[in-house]
Amino acid sequence: MKKIEIADFVIRLLTLIALIFGGMWAWYQYRESGTTDWQNNITLKTEVLPYHDDLRMLVIHVQSKNPRPNKFELQSTQHDSFELRVRRLAADAAVGKVFHEDEGDLIAHADLLQLAGGDYEFLPQAEMDDMQAVVVKANTWVSIIADMKIHTGTSDVHVQPDIDENATSAVVYIPK
C-alpha cells in the first residue's frame, strides 16, 4: 500500500509542476506575441481592362489579412486611416532614376476606411478585399500604394500621437 501512495503523490506533484510550467509558458508566449499588437498583411492585385479610346480601366484589389489570433479595429474617430493612392510616374526619366513610393502626380486617391463607414474591424484570421477601379491613360506607368495607419493610444518622444503603419506598393504599366 505504501508504494501506491508514493506513486500517487509523485504523479500529483508532477501534474502540479507541469501545470505551473505550462502556465508560465503560456504567459511568456502571450507577452512575446504582444497582448495588443496588430498586424495586417496587405497585398495588391491589379488588372488592366480596355475602357474607351486611349483610356484603360485599372482594377485594383487591396487584399488584407489579419494573421493574428486577436481582432483589431481601425476607427476614423481615432485618426486611423486606410488609403489607396495611384500616382503617374514620369515617362521620360533618366537611366538610374529611383522613384520613391509617394513620387509622381497623384491621379487617384481612395479613403478605404471612410468607404467602410469610418470603422473597419479585422477579426482573427479574417481576409478582406477592397476593390477600386481607376481610369488611366494608355501607355502610362503608375505607382500604387495601399497604406494603413493605426494610432496606438500613446505618444512618441516628441509628444505626438504614436502611429503604427503598414503599407504595400506596386508599379503597373498601362499598355496601349
- pLDDT > 70? residue 35: no
Q: Is there a contact between 174 and 48 (Cβ–Cβ < 8 Å)?
A: yes
Position 102 scores a pLDDT of: 84
Residue with cell 499588437: 37
Mean pLDDT of the chain: 90
Among residues of the chain, what percentage have pLDDT more than 90?
58
| 38 or 76: which leads in pLDDT | 76
Residue 62 burial (C-beta neighbours within 10 Å; 0-12, 13-18, 19+):
buried
CA 100 centroid distance within chain: 20
Residue 159: pLDDT band by 50, 70, 90 thresholds?
Answer: confident
Residue 71: pLDDT band by 50, 70, 90 thresholds?
Answer: confident
| 43 or 91: which leads in pLDDT | 43
- pLDDT > 90? residue 72: no
- pLDDT > 70? residue 53: yes
Q: Please count the helices (runs of H) and the strands (runs of E) in the chain.
A: 2, 9
The predicted-structure confidence for 95-118, as pLDDT tens digits, reads as follows 999 988 888 999 999 999 999 999
